[in-house]
Amino acid sequence: MKEKILDKSAEMFITLGFKSVTMDDIALSLGISKKTIYQHFKNKGDLVDSAVFHLSESICEGIDYICEVSNNPIEELFHIKKFVSDYLKDEKSSPHFQLKKYYPGTYNRLLRKQFEMMQDCVTENIKKGIKCGMFRKEVGIDFVSRIYFSGMIGIKDEDIFPPDIFSQSDLKSKYLEYHIRAIATEKGIEVLKEFINENKD
């Protein structure tokens, strides 16, 4: 039952927002009593924290799988972007903003976990790109992996990128292209152009 509560809660928080969803809403959607939820979680804050890291773990597993089966570092980045966007419903409810505002402790812990995970992922991606000649050998891997993370967090800032002007999906695609062009060789640029042309809507 705990797993079901986590799955449903995470889905509702992402779709409707962390602030909007109540314990009553979750209980009703699962057809259980609120008391059942409290048998597993102390309060809403505890449930939010558990659901966020449950979701994060699932996303990390998916990303690890994509990295394992991918031979093309440029396509890998776009596949990860699509996987995360689909998983988070393209973040239409601004979960990042709501989590930061209403559950700052959970947000800060998640940010540290995301940094560690993304730095490992991007570091391996860059090494893979250098090995196959798509990324430049002189790229400062540690610097680029940190800049990449900083940028991915930055494009979620709704004051800088208002959601009525910029969609998260479009922002991520533009940022990915920006990142790849900054570190790619001529071969990498051609692979990028080819991938973008083949995947136009």
- In a domain, residue 155? The reply is yes
Q: Domains in the chain: how many in total?
A: 1
- Is residue 13 one of the residues assigned to a domain? no
Structure tokens at 131: 């090995």
Tell me the whole-structure pTM to 2 decimals. Answer: 0.87
* Per-residue pLDDT tens over the stretch 56-77: 999 999 999 999 999 999 999 9
How crowded is the C-beta side of 6, counted as CA atoms within 13 Å? 16
The answer, yes or no, to whether residue 91 has pLDDT greater than 90, is: no
- Considering the domain boundaries, does residue 109 fall inside one? yes
Domain membership flag for residue 16: no
How far apart are alpha carbons 90 and 21 in whole angstroms? 18
pLDDT of 185 higher than 90 = yes
Residue 143's domain comprises 52-198
Residue 41 inside a domain? The answer is no
Query: Cβ(46)–Cβ(8) under 8 Å?
Result: no
Q: Please report the pLDDT score of residue 163 as a whole number.
A: 85
Question: Is 34 domain-assigned?
Answer: no
- Using the structure block, give the residue that is written with the tokens 């991938």: 195
> Where are the alpha helices (H) located in the chain, listed in sequence order?
2-16, 23-30, 34-38, 44-69, 73-87, 95-102, 104-131, 141-154, 168-183, 186-198
**Residues sharing a CB contact under 8 Å with residue 29, sequence separation 6 or more, in sequence order:** 8, 12
Residues 171-179: contacts with CB under 8 Å, at least 24 apart: 172/81, 172/85, 173/78, 173/81, 175/151, 176/77, 176/78, 176/81, 178/151, 179/77, 179/148, 179/151
- Residue 110 maps to a domain: yes
Residue 135 belongs to domain with CATH number: 1.10.357.10
For the stretch 157-166, pLDDT in tens is 888 999 889 9
| Tens of pLDDT, residues 17-38 | 899 899 999 999 999 999 999 9
Query: For residue range 127-151, what is the model confidence (pLDDT) as tens digits?
Result: 999 999 999 999 999 999 999 999 9
The pLDDT of residue 21: 94
Predicted confidence (pLDDT) at residue 167 exceeds the cutoff of 80: yes
Give the whole-angstrom CA distance, residue 84 versus residue 89.
8
Task: Classify residue 157: in a domain, yes or no.
Answer: yes
